[in-house]
Amino acid sequence: MDMKTLLQHISDENQSFPEITKQQALEAYMSALIDIKDQYDALYFFASMNLLNAYVKKQTADKEFVKRYKFKHYINGKIEQIIRKSIRDVSVYVGQDVVYVSASSLQFSFHNVQLTRFLQLYQSSSQNLEQEWTGIRLQPVAGYIFSWAKDVREFKGKLITS
């Protein structure tokens, strides 16, 4: 599915999406270990973190899984990795209370990210180019975005033709 179709699909308020499964949450949790080498790895990683964020907020989420909910510290490291490696076609904006990461034309937002010393320096640097929120809420469609990002990563972007 190309990017234009994906964005139309997730923006359709009449569209229903499947619930996030525990299996998806476990797979997403394991993605925290990947080494981000390109925009497709970044897309998959942040789609995974978005899915985890959505999953732990669900009433039906596995209680034991939620207790182990400690993935936010992985986000710092991966954001630093992207900045240090200057990963092409991935942009990071560190704001006052939000971090925006755009990869493959999708913008992920994360609140309450603990800023490391490196991220604090980046925040006040000229590299930290401001991004405005796109207005697209990805958590309600997190399972769908996760599956799509997994396919995009597997086929190294051949599914994206905006």
pLDDT at position 49:
94
Nearest to 157 by CA among 44, 35, 45: 44
pLDDT (tens digit per residue) in 50-103:
999 899 888 887 888 777 767 777 899 999 999 999 999 999 999 999 999 999
Say what the pTM is: 0.86
Is the pLDDT at 162 greater than 50, yes or no? no
Which of helix, strand or coil describes residue 70?
Answer: coil
- For the chain, give every domain's residue range: 3-10+19-154
Angstrom CA distances, 155 to 1, 44, 98, 143, 150, stand at: 12, 12, 30, 19, 9
pLDDT at position 24:
92
